[in-house]
Structure 1
Amino acid sequence: MDYKKDIQNYIELEIEVLRKLDVDQINKALNLLDETRLRKGRIYICGNGGSAATASHFQNDFNKGVSEYIDIPFRFHCLNDNVATLMAIANDIGYEEVFRFQLRGNLEPGDILVAISGSGNSPNVIHAVEYAKSLGNQIIGLTGYTGGKLKELSDISLHAPVMSMQVTEDIHMIFDHLMMSVFYKYLCGKEHLRRE
């Protein structure tokens, strides 16, 4: 089989979406993340499916990757990463509560929530966002498609304007690595991370 045309089409779609990204919103996200770091606030992050893996990847890149080189570290906390807690909440209370329940009693003034949902309508993500907003905490939302409810609720919207879950999730990882690269330069004095 010759897949080259499909490969090229996918690459061209990625490039098209990248050119449409809102640089002002990315800049606002960088500033809010750094302000939260400096005041030693927590940055909670969550998502479903592939977005759960993205949330874990964000936590790794900021808590270890960037924080290794700075005096005041980022304090990311991924709500996806304790499987026992997730399963207990899903079984005993309901899957739509797996993130909100973990925020209850933990979310403090000055903390923020990074919420990831390709469709923008994942009920468990939306419940967590609505809870955080009810307490006055700010939301950075990562979305695709038309953005759904999450885009509307977000204080800062990192939106991938594309009707493809695969490209949406690719762009969400680019948001992570883009912001990480900027912080390497401005916080760590490094152009990029290099391991020998």
Structure 2
Amino acid sequence: MNIPTADRIRDAFLETSRNFAAFAEQTGPVAVAAGLMIEGLRGGGKVLFCGNGGSAADSQHLAAELTGRYLHDRPPLAAVALTVDSSALTAIANDYSYDEVFARQVRALGRAGDVLVGISTSGNSRNVVAALEAARALGLRTVGLTGAGGGRMAELCDVCIRVPSTDTPRIQEMHIAAGHMLCELVETAFL
């Protein structure tokens, strides 16, 4: 049986720790994103989330934190993960293209005053980029969660939360932490 070495485990945890320490110095984008979400929800809008793979799971997780509860009992907040309707996803991918699976849903469900949160470790996921383009055309506010470079998403977002890493697993760890902080700030505003 191959047991991972203590050095490998320690190195991974220390890298994560360094990334979080660097991220802690970049609070501005998280605060601005939370403000956009609060403003949209107070105005009767909703928060839409999209991403692929682990980012799809994060989309569902964060939408659930808002519609359910994060830390406190409070009225439910309007949030939708565009990643969960398998019939819509497969029909749109089949009839149009996979690049359109989120953009078409944004055009169907999104309204000016809503907020779209796109999640992509590279910042270049074509279907997330297309969703952000559709959102901007409709007057939605846009938030991105990306890796250090920001990719194409950086230019399409009102605020892009770029976590300080280029390593996919480390980026994903910070995305969920940033998402939890967004949910905490939003929830606090509605208590």
Give TM-score, length-normalised by structure 1: 0.88
Instruction: State the alpha-carbon separation in 2 of the partners of residues 129 and 104 from structure 1.
Output: 11
Residues 24 and 145 of structure 1, relative CA distance in 2, 3 Å threshold: closer
Length, aligned pairs only: 187
State TM-score, norm by structure 2. Answer: 0.90
Q: For residues 60 and 178 of structure 2, what CA distance do their matches in structure 1 show?
A: 14
- Supply the AA of the counterpart residue of 1:44: L
2:172 to 169, 173, 194: 169
Partner of 1:45, secondary structure, is strand
Distance 1:89 1:68, change over 3 A: farther
Flag structure 2 segments of 5+ consecutive residues without an equivalent: none
Counterpart amino acid of residue 68 in structure 2: K
Q: List runs of 5+ in structure 1 lacking aligned partners.
A: 189-196
Runs of 4+, deviation exceeding 4 Å: 183-186
Q: What whole-Å deviation, never above 9, does each CA across 1:82-126 have from its counterpart, x for those lacking one?
A: 011101111111100000111123211101100001100000000
Equivalent of residue 65 in structure 2, options 56, 61, 65 = 61
Identity level (%): 30
Q: Structure 1's 181 and 136: CA in aligned 2 closer, same or farther, altered over 3 A?
A: closer
Corresponding residue to 2:51 among 47, 52, 56: 47
Out of 15, 20, 23, which is 2:27 matched to? 23
| Offset, 1:32 | 1.3
Alignment of 1:1-196 (within 5 A): 1-21=3-23, 22-66=26-70, 69-71=73-75, 73-185=76-188, 187-188=190-191
**Per the alignment, in what secondary structure is the counterpart of residue 69 of structure 1?**
coil
Check whether the contact 2:121–2:147 (CA below 8 A) recurs between aligned residues: yes
1:136: how far off?
2.4
Q: Tell me: CA distance 1:183–1:134, structure 2 relative to 1, closer, same or farther (3 Å).
A: closer
Q: Which residue identity is paired with 1:3? A: T
